[in-house]
A = this chain, B = another copy of it.
């Protein structure tokens, strides 16, 4: 039928899709309006029918990027123990595939430095999305229940490791080194959250043996 508002909504969606890609690939200041609109099949003039300014677009596109990706990379981590859930997520996150696919990657990592330099409005959006992701990590199954603060702390450390790991892996030129960074970080997740039988998540002293080398370094998505 293509009613008037349907068309606009479709346009908006294309704009957000294009913008979300370019935002991650080129950063907050890099993703310019005209190219985004062109990628969306429109011209720059149409932009202001959808947003008041570039900042609004950035916020909306950032939200869109995470809304789009979160379910995909959450997958079904259900029913697993807490440490194995983190381990599984870490193995999915810290891959060469995710590293190399900037345009479709985790926006929290891709725009971390940018958010750090941005104004309070964008930081609020970033924070909101980060909280949503942390929440999703903590309780992917029953949406309503409050989350365990200890788990939240675990999830924060986990996210920091993942974001830092993939950022470093991307920032480096040598693919071997980059791969090493990813592998080491995957192992670090395991060391930080040892499998259930070891001991519960907090206040434990995991034997100081440096158990390295249980690294399957192949990536799958």
Are A127 and B173 in contact, CB atoms less than 8 angstroms apart?
yes
| Most B Cβ at <10 Å: residue of A124, A160, A165, A167 | A160
Cα distance A197–B192 when bound, in Å? 17
Interface residues on A, range: 35 or more
A30 at the interface (CB under 8 A from B): yes
Given A112-B112, A115-B171, A117-B102: A161 and B157 interface contact (C-beta under 8 Å): yes
Question: How far is B50's CA from A116's CA once the two chains are assembled, in angstroms?
Answer: 30
| Distance between Cα atoms of A110 and B154 in the complex (Å) | 24
Q: How far is the CA of A205 from the CA of B154 in the complex (A)?
A: 17
Closest Cβ–Cβ distance, residue A65 to chain B (whole Å): 14
Residue-wise interface mask of A (138-173) relative to B, using a CB-CB cutoff of 8 A (1 in contact, 0 not): 000000000000100110110111111101101111
Instruction: Name A208's contact: one of B163, B171, B198 (CB within 8 Å).
Output: B198
Give Cα A12 to B161, complex, Å.
Answer: 37
> Which of B83, B113, B127 contacts A167, CB < 8 Å?
B113
What residues on B are CB-neighbors of A177 within 8 Å?
127, 131
Number of copies: 2
Q: Give the complex CA separation of A180 and B159 in angstroms.
A: 13
* A208-B83 Cα distance, complex, nearest whole Å: 10
Least CB separation from A163: chain B residue: B164
The answer on a CB contact under 8 Å between A157 and B184 is: yes
Contact present for B188 and A198 (CB under 8 Å): no
A157–B167 Cα distance when bound, in Å, is 12
The answer, yes or no, to whether A200 is at the interface (CB within 8 Å) is yes
* Known A180-B156, A181-B160, A200-B205: A173·B120 in contact at CB below 8 Å: yes
A2 close to chain B: CB less than 8 A: no
Q: Kindly specify which of A21-29, A34-42, A52-60, A67-75 makes contact with the partner chain.
A: A21-29
User: Whole-angstrom distance between the alpha carbons of A162 and B120 in the complex?
Assistant: 23
Does A185 count as interface, using CB distance less than 8 angstroms?
Answer: yes
Task: Give 5 A-B contacts (CB < 8 Å), ordered by A residue.
Answer: A102-B117, A127-B174, A131-B177, A150-B212, A156-B180
Known A110-B113, A157-B161; 8 more pairs at CB < 8 Å: A113-B114, A115-B170, A126-B173, A157-B191, A159-B168, A161-B188, A167-B167, A203-B205
